[in-house]
């Protein structure tokens, strides 16, 4: 049975939310959107029905938030609650129904980003946590982490600095660059704290998009195949993964059972690309258990 | 982990000044992390005065507040009025949600909290700091009563509105359900969907649904009288008698104020 973070919304049945709720978190410019655009067709190709959702996409509050952000008069408590409204509208009308229908829900940010942004703006941390206690606990949270130094070139050579992403409502910065550094550093600090608290799976997102995609695929695959005994890899693949996974320790698996355990562990760090029937032996990509 | 419990724990015990807390409202704003500059003292801690009116639809609270407003102005006080559900930033969203019947109990609650937050941040709080007399037609107690009647969790709601300033006086206009319904029926052609609690599917007939819904709200108000120390006014009395009582109570809280602004 699915759980919430402490409080249940009226009418929210938790017993039949059978789908998988997968969260992609990270600061601005970490590549979340890119990854979701890659993951969605990949999941669909595997036969999963996918709902992708993200902040300010609710029919109720999305436009209102965008309008409110055009001016310079959106206070931090108001902003936090406007986002909470948007979140709960999507939670009740999109995320929960999709989970009930067995979908894989891919969400671009979740309550963690919303909490981090509010806390960085000086909103009381326990207050904002209390509000989001109605959120459903996800099956996995992948935290795409990019340090500030890698983040800056990504932003300046793509869309440029944005007022809100530079925390201009927050810091008395001289310019957007300073504002961006201050704000994003504060956010990263808060994300790192939340990461420890909520057990995010960290992914080093400073690497190229394809590598990150590979890591995410492997990890999501293991989320979708929840029980270990359900993994039925062909023996030659299992053997090969096992060999790679244990190559550091130079300790070959002694039994079929431990080979499966090895395959399990390896699946978290490696991308397995099956070749077309009759082709050469399978390739195993990746360079170890990252992040 | 239980996010709510962790939030509630702090909310219930933290007071940076070590003061004993009366209601949940006194703690939130003075907390250091929230408004580092605020130095609370006395009731809500600001030089201004905050008078609010509460009651079910048809209790006559708006009439009473408007009479108080005129009296305060005549006495030369700088008075500012703030109405429930009136934030220019948020009200379009609320209107959209109501018109298209998109609101669930949770989003109904949150959008009204957003509206209230905007008014708190932009007008109520700065005006109280500046020494104005602020009048509010409906306050957090409206949200508590309505949202609980819609099935929301009482504690979650109290925690949600922690950012609110505790009023100097919260007048509750107490009226029997049938009297209020009689007044509403005389004044209006038809009841609105959410006003009548039609979103709860209590009853297909709007009048009957209104009756059930308002009955629940009334119960919540009764429960809140001791919890928040609401000042009860018997709203079945003549308008003049109620107003005399309201003015007398307001007067007491104006006399002890040192830094109130007067109208230029």
Total number of domains in chain A: 2
- Residues 223-282 of chain A whose Cβ lies under 8 A from any Cβ of chain B: none
Q: Across-strand partners of B82? A: B136
Residues near A181 by Cβ (< 8 Å), separated by ≥ 6? Answer: A148, A152
Tell me the per-residue pLDDT of A41-55, one tens digit each, with 9 for 90 and over. 999 999 999 999 999
Residues of A in contact with B89 (CB under 8 A): 64, 67-68, 71, 73-74, 78
Handedness of CA B39, B12, B228, B22 (dihedral sign): negative
- Out of A179, A209, A224, a domain closes at A224
List the single range of A114-128, A149-163, B84-98, B121-135 with lowest mean pLDDT.
A149-163
Residue B1: predicted pLDDT = 59
Same domain, A214 and A236: no
Q: Do B191 and B207 contact (CB within 8 A), yes or no?
A: yes
In a domain, A291, yes or no: no
B contact test, residue of A111, A125, A130 with most B CBs within 10 A: A130
- Whether B150 and chain A come into contact, CB under 8 Å, resolves to yes
Residue B109: predicted pLDDT = 98
Of B103, B120, B159, the CB nearest to A130: B159
Of B11, B106, B152, the CB nearest to A92: B106
Q: Cβ of B90 and A124 within 8 Å?
A: no
- Residues 48-77 of chain B whose Cβ lies under 8 A from any Cβ of chain A: none
d(CA B29, CA B180): 35
In this prediction, residue B29 has a pLDDT band, given cuts at 50, 70 and 90, of very low
In a domain, A5, yes or no: no
Q: Do B209 and B203 contact (CB within 8 A), yes or no?
A: yes
- Residue B203 reports pLDDT greater than 70: yes
Output Rg (C-alpha) for chain A, integer angstroms.
21
d(CA B153, CA B77): 39
Residues of A in contact with B36 (CB under 8 A): 122
**Segment holding A285, helix H or strand E:** strand A283-285
d(CA B152, CA A34): 38
**DSSP structure class, residue A34:** H
Q: Cβ of A64 and B28 within 8 Å?
A: no
Residues of B in contact with A198 (CB under 8 A): 1
List the single range of A242-246, B52-56, B249-253 with lowest mean pLDDT.
A242-246
Domains annotated for chain B, with CATH where assigned, are 18-255 (3.40.50.300)
In a domain, A3, yes or no: no
Structure tokens at B33: 């992390």
Same domain, A165 and A261: no
What is the overall mean pLDDT for chain B? 85
d(CA A215, CA A269): 6
Residues of A in contact with B160 (CB under 8 A): 130-131
In a domain, A153, yes or no: yes
In a domain, A168, yes or no: yes
Tell me the per-residue pLDDT of A86-103, one tens digit each, with 9 for 90 and over. 999 999 999 999 999 999
Residue B185: predicted pLDDT = 80
| % of chain A exceeding 90 in pLDDT | 62
Q: How many CB atoms lie within 10 A of CB B151?
A: 15
Same domain, A212 and A257: no
Residue A174: predicted pLDDT = 72
**SS3 (DSSP) at A104:** strand
Distance from CA of A78 to the nearest CA of B (A): 5
Q: Across-strand partners of B53? A: B137, B171
- Residue B15 reports pLDDT greater than 50: no
Same domain, A121 and A163: yes
In a domain, A47, yes or no: yes
- Residue A7 reports pLDDT greater than 80: yes
In this prediction, residue A285 has a pLDDT band, given cuts at 50, 70 and 90, of very low
In a domain, A80, yes or no: yes
Q: How many residues does chain B have?
A: 264
Assembly ipTM? 0.83
Mean pLDDT on A196-209? 95
- Give a three-class secondary structure readout of chain B: CCHHHHHHHHHHHCCCCCCCCCCCHHHHCCCCCCCCCCCCCCCCCCCCEEEEEECCCCCCHHHHHHHHHHHHHHCCECEEEEECCCCCCCHHHHHHHHHCCCCCHHHHHHHHHHHHHHHHHHHHHHHHHHCCEEEEECCHHHHHHHHHHCCCCHHHHHHHCCCCCCCCEEEEEECCHHHHHHHHHHHCCCCCCCCCCHHHCCCCCHHHHHHHHHHHHHHHHHHHHHHHCCEEEECCCCHHHHHHHHHHHHHHHHHCCCCCCECC
Same domain, A269 and A149: no
- Residues 219-238 of chain B whose Cβ lies under 8 A from any Cβ of chain A: none
HSE of A22 in the Cβ direction (CA atoms, 13 Å)? 26
Tell me the per-residue pLDDT of A250-269, one tens digit each, with 9 for 90 and over. 444 444 444 444 444 444 44
Residue A227: predicted pLDDT = 46
- Whether A132 and chain B come into contact, CB under 8 Å, resolves to yes
Same domain, A265 and A219: no
Bigger pLDDT: B34 or A263? Answer: A263
- Out of A207, A224, A241, a domain closes at A224
Same domain, A52 and A106: yes
Same domain, A243 and A148: no
- Whether B34 and chain A come into contact, CB under 8 Å, resolves to yes
Same domain, A199 and A243: no
Residues near B169 by Cβ (< 8 Å), separated by ≥ 6? Answer: B51, B52, B231, B249, B250, B253
Same domain, A203 and A279: no
Residue B245: predicted pLDDT = 98
Same domain, A213 and A98: yes
Distance from CA of A63 to the nearest CA of B (A): 8
CATH number at residue A157: 3.40.50.300
**DSSP structure class, residue A138:** P
* Best mean pLDDT range from A98-107, A146-155, B247-256: A98-107
In a domain, A177, yes or no: yes
- pTM, two decimals, is 0.80
- Out of A224, A239, A263, a domain closes at A224
Q: Which domain, by its residues, includes A91? A: 20-224
- Residues 51-70 of chain A whose Cβ lies under 8 A from any Cβ of chain B: 59-61, 63-64, 67-68
What are the Cα distances from residue A165, in Å, to A29, A171, B206, B238? Answer: 10, 12, 47, 57
Tokens 């201009």, residue? A168
Distance from CA of B100 to the nearest CA of A (A): 9
Same domain, A155 and A249: no
């Amino acid at each position: 049975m699915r759980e919430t973070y402490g409080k249940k919304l009226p009418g929210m049945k938790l017993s039949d939310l059978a789908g998988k709720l997968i969260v992609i978190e990270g600061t601005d410019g970490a590549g979340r959107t890119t990854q979701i655009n890659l993951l969605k067709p990949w999941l669909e190709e595997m036969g999963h029905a996918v709902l992708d959702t993200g902040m300010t996409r609710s029919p109720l509050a999305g436009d209102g938030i965008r309008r409110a952000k055009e001016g310079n008069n959106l206070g931090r408590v108001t902003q936090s609650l406007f986002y909470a409204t948007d979140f709960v509208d999507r939670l009740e009308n999109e995320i929960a129904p999709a989970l009930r229908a067995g979908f894989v829900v891919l969400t671009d940010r979740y309550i963690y980003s919303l909490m981090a942004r509010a806390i960085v703006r000086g909103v009381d941390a326990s207050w904002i946590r209390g509000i989001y206690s109605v959120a459903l606990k996800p099956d996995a949270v992948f935290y795409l982490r990019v340090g500030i130094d890698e983040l800056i070139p990504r932003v300046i050579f793509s869309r440029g600095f944005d007022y809100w992403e530079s925390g201009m409502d927050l810091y008395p910065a001289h310019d957007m660059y300073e504002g961006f550094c201050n704000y994003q550093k504060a956010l990263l600090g808060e994300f790192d704290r939340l990461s420890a608290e909520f057990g995010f799976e960290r992914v080093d997102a400073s690497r190229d998009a394809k590598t990150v995609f590979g890591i995410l695929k492997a990890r999501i695959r293991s989320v979708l195949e929840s029980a270990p005994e359900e993994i039925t890899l062909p023996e030659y693949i299992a053997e090969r993964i096992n060999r790679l996974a244990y190559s550091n320790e130079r300790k070959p698996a002694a039994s079929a059972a431990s080979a499966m355990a090895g395959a399990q562990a390896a699946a978290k760090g490696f991308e397995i690309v099956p070749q077309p029937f009759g082709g050469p032996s399978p390739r195993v990509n990746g360079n170890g258990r990252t992040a | 982990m239980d996010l709510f419990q962790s939030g509630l724990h702090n909310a219930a015990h933290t007071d940076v000044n070590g003061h004993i807390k009366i209601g949940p409202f006194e703690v939130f704003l003075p907390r250091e992390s929230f408004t580092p500059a605020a130095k609370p003292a006395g009731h809500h801690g600001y030089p201004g005065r905050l008078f609010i009116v509460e009651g079910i639809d048809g209790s006559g609270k708006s009439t009473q507040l408007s009479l108080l407003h005129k009296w305060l102005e005549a006495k030369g006080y700088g008075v500012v009025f703030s109405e429930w559900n009136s934030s220019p930033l948020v009200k379009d969203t609320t209107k959209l949600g109501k018109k298209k019947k998109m609101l669930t109990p949770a989003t109904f609650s949150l959008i009204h909290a957003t509206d209230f937050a905007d008014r708190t941040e932009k007008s109520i709080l700065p005006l109280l700091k500046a020494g104005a007399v602020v009048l509010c037609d409906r306050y957090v107690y409206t949200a508590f009563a309505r949202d609980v009647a819609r099935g929301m969790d009482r504690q979650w709601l109290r925690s949600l509105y922690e950012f609110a300033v505790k009023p100097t006086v919260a007048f509750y206009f107490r009226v029997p359900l049938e009297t209020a319904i009689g007044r509403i029926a005389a004044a209006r052609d038809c009841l609105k969907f959410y006003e009548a609690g039609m979103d709860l599917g209590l009853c297909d007939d709007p009048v009957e649904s209104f009756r059930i819904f308002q009955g629940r709200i009334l119960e919540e108000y009764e429960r809140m009288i001791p919890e928040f120390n609401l000042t009860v006014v018997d709203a079945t009395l003549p308008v003049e008698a109620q107003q005399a009582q309201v003015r007398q109570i307001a007067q007491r809280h104006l006399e002890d104020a040192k830094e109130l602004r007067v109208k230029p």
